[in-house]
Structure 1
Amino acid sequence: MSSIDALMPATPGPYLLVPRLNEDQFEAVQVNVVGWAATSEGLAPVTVAGVNHGQHAPLAVLQPDGRVEEPDGQMFPSRDEWKRATVRRVRAAQP
């Protein structure tokens, strides 16, 4: 990630979705977004664990209206649809 130019507080409501895959069970832990970091690459969510929750790969954001936004611009109308697409993507990448 590039350097942080500015930090802005987040309004209540957005959550970072941290995926966890244990054997064949998928879950996504919701973590409060407490701020946004402005970088040369755009905005990155900030949680109590740091920018992008300390993860190297960007994570999806659950918006207050229920939409899920992926860092690459993909949008899903609901968390359930995002979860189904994520499970398909993970399974397709497995040998």
Structure 2
Amino acid sequence: MSRRKRFSGEQLRSLRKEAGYTQEELGHRVGISRETVSAIENDKPETMNSIGVEVISKWWSVCRQRASEQTRESFFSTVMDYFGFSHS
């Protein structure tokens, strides 16, 4: 049984900050509250277990244009690992 890499709150926080958004701004763009953004970024288990792929997808869509190439590659790697795809 392989272990899937999970999305970390720290990685999502770094992505948001690199994109130049406050928690409030990102929450508005993604459709979640600032409090939920904070809970995600702080790896609150109940929040991390309840967020869906659609929230991660929206988070990425909002931030990706402003993210560095290194950040985009790291995020892509996390997505590939999460879904169990090989990325050589």
Q: What band does the TM-score fall into relative to the shorter chain?
A: under 0.3
Q: Which has the higher strand share?
A: 1
Which of these two proteins has the greater Rg computed from alpha carbons? 1
Q: Which has the higher helix share?
A: 2
TM-score, with length taken from structure 2: 0.28
TM-score, with length taken from structure 1: 0.26
